[in-house]
Structure 1
Amino acid sequence: MDRSEKTKLVDSLRDTLSEATSVVVTQQSGLTVAEVTELRRRMRAAGAGFKVTKNRLARLAIAGTKFEGLGDMLTGPTAIALSKDPVAAAKVIVEYAKQNDKLKIVGGAFGNQILDIDGVKTLASLPSIEELRGKIVGILQTPAARIVGVLQAPGGQLARVLAAYARQDEAA
């Protein structure tokens, strides 16, 4: 790889990092091509990305970004998982690491906050943006449904009273 290709790679990684909200650093020694492909498929499905990186180029890419503190974690055979959703990358990586011992979580970052392994696992346990949006919509819809029920109740009660009087008249 010549110097211009390395520069393009660093610029591309820096652009990807600028759009990311969270980053998880992993070591993946011994993963087969099929296993990495499966992990990438899961990451894409969650709206995240997974890149095997050269440590030196990754350090150059994170220099001057909010993820600059990750530089010390970039040793050995590393890869990074990135996502715009704060928890998507962490969820997929933690789940995959439980199933495959060859993938080790080194640490990560959420915005300017550098996370250790436990921090990444805690981040993974949080609900995603989509789950939170669903809960908020549910909370907002519940009062509206109750109001509709309260407004419909008097009409229903009136109809039942009239039906009861009609049955009494028929019985008499």
Structure 2
Amino acid sequence: MNRTEKKQVIDQLNERVNQASIALVTDFRGLKVEEMETLRTRLRQEGVHYQVVKNTLARLALEETPHAVIKDEFKDCCALALGYDDPVVAAKVLSKFAKENKKFSLRFASYAGKTLTAEDIEELSKLPGREELLAKMLGTMNAVPGNFVGLFGNLLRNMLYALNGIKEQKEQDQA
């Protein structure tokens, strides 16, 4: 790889890292090509970018980015996963893949300017995703007016039962 190719890789990676909300570093040693392709497919379906990159190039690309806190941690065989919209999605996919493949492991990550350990990533993967949280919030918001309508419906129904009872009692008294 010559200097211009390296510069191009650094620039492309830097641009992607600046847009990413989370950057996860994995160890892929020992994985077969088919397993690696399976992982890449799963990540691509979730909108996560996954790239094997030389450590030196990764360090240079991470400089002056929100994920610069992890730039000095790159050692051995590393691959970088970048999640853009929902950081939980990337953590879930990678954690699930790590459980299925013992040779694959999560090393560390950067989220909101902080370094996360492999245990932190595992905990992050257990959280509900953005879509699930939005669904719960909308369900809660929808429940309030529904309960309000139900409450007034019960009040009106009870009032109608009382008026009906009074009507029936007057009819019996007149007869």
Structure 1 and Structure 2 fold alike (TM over 0.5): yes
Distance 1:93 1:166 in 2: 70
Residue 119 of structure 1: aligned partner? 120
Question: Can you list the C-alpha shifts for 1:52-75, whole angstroms capped at 9, x where unaligned?
Answer: 111111111001112112123211
Deviation at 1:137, TM superposition (A): 0.8
How many Å apart are 1:45 and its aligned residue?
Answer: 2.4
Query: Are residue 12 (structure 1) and residue 12 (structure 2) matched?
Result: yes
Partner of 1:109: helix, strand, or coil?
strand
Question: For 2:66 and 2:53, how far apart are their aligned partners in 1?
Answer: 18
Q: Are residue 151 (structure 1) and residue 152 (structure 2) matched?
A: yes
Map of 1:61 onto structure 2 = 61
Q: Distance in 2 between matches of 1:138 and 1:70?
A: 38
Contact 1:73 1:106 in 2 (8 A): no
Q: Tell me the secondary structure at the aligned position of residue 106 of structure 1.
A: strand
Q: Contact 1:49–1:89 (CA<8 Å) still a contact in 2? A: no
**Which residue identity is paired with 2:14?**
R
The DSSP-based 3-state class of the residue aligned with 2:125 is: helix
Q: Residue 86 of structure 1 corresponds to which residue in structure 2? A: 87
Displacement, 1:160? Answer: 6.0
Shift of 1:157: 4.3
What percentage of aligned pairs have identical amino acids?
Answer: 33
Once the two structures are overlaid, the 10-residue window that deviates more, 153-162 or 143-152, is 153-162
| Max Rg structure | 2
> Counterpart in 2 of 1:48?
48
Give the residue type in structure 2 aligned to 1:44: R
TM-score by length of 1: 0.87
5+ residue gaps in structure 2?
Answer: none
CA change 1:37–1:160 in 2 (3 A) is farther
Matches within 5 A, 1:95-134: 95-134=96-135
Deviates more, 1:118-127 or 1:94-103: 118-127
Q: Secondary structure at the match of 1:87?
A: helix
More displaced stretch, 9-18 vs 66-75: 66-75
Distance (Å, rounded) in 1 between the aligned partners of 2:163 and 2:52:
74
The aligned amino acid for 1:13 is L
User: How far does the alpha carbon of each residue in 1:87-142 deviate from its partner, in whole angstroms, 9 at most, with x for none?
Assistant: 11111111110110111111111120011111111221222111111111111111
Query: Counterpart amino acid of 2:72?
Result: D
Quick one: distance in 2 between partners of 1:73 and 1:105? 13
Look up the SS of the partner of 2:139 in the other structure. helix
Give the drift of 1:42.
Answer: 1.3
User: Aligned to 2:87, what secondary structure does the other structure show?
Assistant: coil
TM-score when normalising by structure 2: 0.86
For 1:17, what is the secondary structure of its paired residue? helix
Give the equivalent residue in structure 2 for 1:35: 35
Runs of 5+ in structure 1 lacking a partner? none
Deviations, residues 24-44 of structure 1 (Å, cap 9, x unaligned): 111101212211111112112
CA-based RMSD of the aligned residues comes to 2.2
Residue-pair matches, total: 170
